[in-house]
Structure 1
């Protein structure tokens, strides 16, 4: 018994029929039968069938009844588990049967599988670059909504499961050339999924007699779409004719209110049932309008299965009923208004419901167990200095007010590698988890809505782009419901040297709305104030808040390498950390050996590896998970190169260990490294001063140790947890 039946309706296409049938005979899958149905053609295919001499071919004759009847005749005499309906002027690629059969065998829920096509001209030449993949929005799964909108694909590229045909019946003989599209609609409406294969497995011929070129066929397709939508709505039970006419008496003269609703009313937001509010549904879910479907058809075919609501929540309607009842107690005549009897039928101003991100916002709001006194906005939680600063602020707030006091919101990305830095049990929300396609404007509005809805005592922004934009755009309004705070660390720059960080793009416009701005170093704070001419009244809002460091590695450095020429460099491989300068220093200081610990951009890692292969004094040691793991006692100096910076916590951690430090004089580094505590390189882009400093450390080890001890003492004083909490608690404070 054949596994696949290929049905070929034939009517006056003899010049193409050989190519069509032979394309089946050349298939890599061989368990098939070919049923050619002669639909009363003037041309006789008998000689051709005999010449092909293949027992798998059968020729069936009938009086002319049209393509739908011919296909149904073929179905009736066939025995396959799967069907392909191949028109006599089209042909198949050699693996079409095998590829689509495998797809259907692997996906029992699929009623049909289909592939992309090549459209050819009358002589078989490629006609155009049309692809089904580009013409349809929904290719696999539930394709009913997209079928209702068009995106036609011809039967030559489709394989149908026999059980699906048995369920939905044969091709509709009244629809002529549109019967194939109707068949795909009925299979999808019966609950079968479809599976699309992106390979071009079928050749679809365009020529003067091709039915797809007939404008009447295209008009029939449009009518069929309306009729199918009508059928779906009627079967759903969600069209109430009496209610429709009650709400819209202007339609009473129409002979068919359902036809009006399908063609016009549903798109106009008219109400046709107490349980479905099309205006609310289209406003709440922005993809409804984009789909082009009637809102009710969208709900029936897509939204209901996805758990979407079809109107206002019952708890909101209950509140409306209570409001009406309370108003009635004050003025009893209000209750005489018939429009107030059923609140579900009232017309509402949905306000923010037109905002595309309303669904994500509702999910976010519903996920919150209670209101929070403090919110910390961050772009993400990766293992960086700003992320650690945010974690420290959260830890301080929870230490003072408890776990339920503080909410952490990741606004710009979903990366959360350093979530373990937060206290156990901290409340965290990631905006991306509430909407997979949130735009920047969606995220900004969600930040604003969260602040306005929760009205926290304070908000702290630690590098959140969405929060910075909210403060610039709505700072005056937000400042009336909460106290706004922010953290800044250093400037950032583009590859061509332009300032691009929030310190340059948002700070000046945001400062009037901020209660305080916390800087991790005094140098950058004063630089920014001078650059932007911040008046004294606003400078008082700019505070230096040194970040705390751990004490696990204090004094780890003892004597260092006895050779006196071992240098350690640790950090991220990126433009900011000036990897190019590090390589220049190694090239210049051939009397020192440099061990490199770190991670970062692949391009810089590749460059370091290239030079490590040719410089005998340069070794890449690999990444490190914590500064405390660095074997500093095997070295004589710590080298820190940077083009710009705040007060890097890696450097502060290293300073606690007691190893001599050579560092660039940028950003907040001079807060830590001075002539008394280490070697600060003013000409920080030139390799020579770094080499001179390293050689001085080798010549004067006692002086080097004294400077390192002074640095260690300063860090222990300024970067302790107690000092951090004390500074952060000075009122007005984020912790208030």
Structure 2
């Protein structure tokens, strides 16, 4: 089955050449669509890439999901598999064939994904480890409950059946950040099984310019996702996870100096469960101007 690859881009993309080099080196000659999502300076592809890549320009930025949908609309009708790769990540050799092959070997599954090696801006491994679901086919009901608690799926490792994606409503959803996670949950809610490839297929890059570096924004998006898909786990389990979202939101707001909003978020946590000891300390520190300024320091990926 023919495959297409969607690469959304917004603004300065220092790793895009590496991303496209890795995609274009994959066997099978996939159809590659790069979507310039309203960048202030319109994107120009390198001459080595331009002849082999379709460039779609959106005049207004809509976020990754909207950009991917624009790319999907630009794919030829005979493309039945849709692969994702962000503009700061890079596939390993043979990644597309491995993930697409695992999906086509399971006719009843609608999407597949691999595992990620997390690297920093310099390309060196950070040592960060993500949860790793077991290799093989994952039933939508069970995997939906696991996904609700945390997202172990590297977006840039995903291959979807185009038909399953269309049935789930396409890429666009209710959130601009964590939009990939919301799609996975939507697929599971629709009864679409997944396939996990039990090997690393992508180098996932952490860097300050990434969308997930916005701690408060990501926490708010996760909260919206969990509220939308609470039926996957039931009210008691959902309430526990939503309390943790409010705690993450409180921490992110404190980092930004939005102390009144952080206190309100901690109140939402306390309304759902008792505060843990370290959370009680963080909440108390918000009332101490000399100490609370320290809450904005440190690596956002490490708490």
1:422-467, Cα deviation, whole Å (9 max, x unpaired): xxxxxxxxxxxxxxxxxxxxxxxxxxxxxxxxxxxxxxxxxxxxxx
Match in the other structure for 1:307:
none
How many residues matched? 234
Matched residue SS, 2:229:
helix
Q: Matches of 2:117 and 2:103 in 1, distance apart?
A: 22
Shift of 1:211: 1.6
Match in the other structure for 1:224:
225
Q: Matches of 2:174 and 2:187 in 1, distance apart?
A: 18
Q: Matches of 2:195 and 2:40 in 1, distance apart?
A: 38
Shift of 1:138: 10
Q: Matches of 1:182 and 1:111 in 2, distance apart?
A: 16
Shift of 1:154: 2.6
Q: Matches of 1:91 and 1:192 in 2, distance apart?
A: 27
Match in the other structure for 1:401:
none
Shift of 1:53: 4.5
Kindly indicate whether the alpha-carbon contact (under 8 Å) linking 1:177 and 1:217 is maintained by their aligned counterparts in 2.
Answer: yes
Which residues of 2 match residues 562-573 of structure 1 at below 5 A?
Answer: none
The one of 239, 255, 263 aligned to 1:263: 239
1:497-545, Cα deviation, whole Å (9 max, x unpaired): xxxxxxxxxxxxxxxxxxxxxxxxxxxxxxxxxxxxxxxxxxxxxxxxx
Shift of 1:139: 7.8
Matched residue SS, 1:174:
coil
Judged with a 3 Å threshold, the aligned counterparts in structure 2 of structure 1 residues 109 and 42 are, in CA distance, closer, same or farther, namely: same
Judged with a 3 Å threshold, the aligned counterparts in structure 2 of structure 1 residues 202 and 47 are, in CA distance, closer, same or farther, namely: closer
The one of 62, 66, 82 aligned to 1:65: 62
Matched residue SS, 2:175:
helix
Gaps of 5+ in 1: 234-258, 265-736
Kindly indicate whether the alpha-carbon contact (under 8 Å) linking 1:4 and 1:81 is maintained by their aligned counterparts in 2.
Answer: yes
Judged with a 3 Å threshold, the aligned counterparts in structure 2 of structure 1 residues 140 and 173 are, in CA distance, closer, same or farther, namely: closer
Match in the other structure for 1:54:
51
Judged with a 3 Å threshold, the aligned counterparts in structure 2 of structure 1 residues 231 and 192 are, in CA distance, closer, same or farther, namely: closer
Match in the other structure for 2:255:
none
1:79-118, Cα deviation, whole Å (9 max, x unpaired): 3211112111111111111001111111011111111100
Q: Matches of 1:199 and 1:4 in 2, distance apart?
A: 20
Matched residue SS, 1:24:
helix
Structure possessing the higher relative contact order (Cα contacts under 8 Å, 6 or more residues apart): 2
Q: Matches of 1:14 and 1:261 in 2, distance apart?
A: 39
Q: Matches of 1:47 and 1:102 in 2, distance apart?
A: 29
Judged with a 3 Å threshold, the aligned counterparts in structure 2 of structure 1 residues 35 and 24 are, in CA distance, closer, same or farther, namely: same
Residue 192 of structure 2 is aligned to residue 192 of structure 1: yes
Shift of 1:189: 1.4
Judged with a 3 Å threshold, the aligned counterparts in structure 2 of structure 1 residues 53 and 47 are, in CA distance, closer, same or farther, namely: closer
Which residues of 2 match residues 309-328 of structure 1 at below 5 A?
Answer: none
Matched residue SS, 1:180:
helix
Q: Matches of 2:204 and 2:237 in 1, distance apart?
A: 37
Q: Matches of 2:94 and 2:135 in 1, distance apart?
A: 26
Judged with a 3 Å threshold, the aligned counterparts in structure 2 of structure 1 residues 129 and 173 are, in CA distance, closer, same or farther, namely: closer
The one of 25, 39, 42 aligned to 2:40: 42
Shift of 1:225: 1.8
Judged with a 3 Å threshold, the aligned counterparts in structure 2 of structure 1 residues 211 and 36 are, in CA distance, closer, same or farther, namely: same
Gaps of 5+ in 2: 241-303
Match in the other structure for 1:14:
13
Kindly indicate whether the alpha-carbon contact (under 8 Å) linking 1:92 and 1:202 is maintained by their aligned counterparts in 2.
Answer: yes
Matched residue SS, 2:204:
strand
Match in the other structure for 2:90:
91
Over aligned residue pairs, what C-alpha RMSD do you find?
Answer: 2.5
Kindly indicate whether the alpha-carbon contact (under 8 Å) linking 2:109 and 2:137 is maintained by their aligned counterparts in 1.
Answer: no
Shift of 1:231: 7.3
Shift of 1:226: 3.0
Match in the other structure for 1:336:
none
Judged with a 3 Å threshold, the aligned counterparts in structure 2 of structure 1 residues 230 and 200 are, in CA distance, closer, same or farther, namely: same
Residue 68 of structure 2 is aligned to residue 78 of structure 1: no
Q: Matches of 1:68 and 1:181 in 2, distance apart?
A: 11
Q: Matches of 1:137 and 1:100 in 2, distance apart?
A: 11
Judged with a 3 Å threshold, the aligned counterparts in structure 2 of structure 1 residues 263 and 210 are, in CA distance, closer, same or farther, namely: same
Shift of 1:228: 0.2
Judged with a 3 Å threshold, the aligned counterparts in structure 2 of structure 1 residues 212 and 52 are, in CA distance, closer, same or farther, namely: same
Shift of 1:52: 2.2
Judged with a 3 Å threshold, the aligned counterparts in structure 2 of structure 1 residues 231 and 120 are, in CA distance, closer, same or farther, namely: closer
Q: Matches of 1:36 and 1:73 in 2, distance apart?
A: 10
The one of 137, 140, 146 aligned to 2:138: 140
Q: Which has the larger radius of gyration?
A: 1
Judged with a 3 Å threshold, the aligned counterparts in structure 2 of structure 1 residues 169 and 194 are, in CA distance, closer, same or farther, namely: same
Match in the other structure for 2:254:
none
Judged with a 3 Å threshold, the aligned counterparts in structure 2 of structure 1 residues 76 and 261 are, in CA distance, closer, same or farther, namely: same
1:388-438, Cα deviation, whole Å (9 max, x unpaired): xxxxxxxxxxxxxxxxxxxxxxxxxxxxxxxxxxxxxxxxxxxxxxxxxxx
Kindly indicate whether the alpha-carbon contact (under 8 Å) linking 1:118 and 1:202 is maintained by their aligned counterparts in 2.
Answer: yes
Q: Matches of 2:123 and 2:238 in 1, distance apart?
A: 42
Tell me the TM-score normalized by structure 1: 0.30
Judged with a 3 Å threshold, the aligned counterparts in structure 2 of structure 1 residues 35 and 47 are, in CA distance, closer, same or farther, namely: closer
Shift of 1:213: 2.6
Matched residue SS, 1:46:
coil
Q: Matches of 2:189 and 2:29 in 1, distance apart?
A: 30
Q: Matches of 1:37 and 1:15 in 2, distance apart?
A: 15
Judged with a 3 Å threshold, the aligned counterparts in structure 2 of structure 1 residues 66 and 157 are, in CA distance, closer, same or farther, namely: same
Match in the other structure for 1:130:
129
Kindly indicate whether the alpha-carbon contact (under 8 Å) linking 1:13 and 1:88 is maintained by their aligned counterparts in 2.
Answer: no
Matched residue SS, 1:176:
coil
Residue 3 of structure 2 is aligned to residue 4 of structure 1: yes
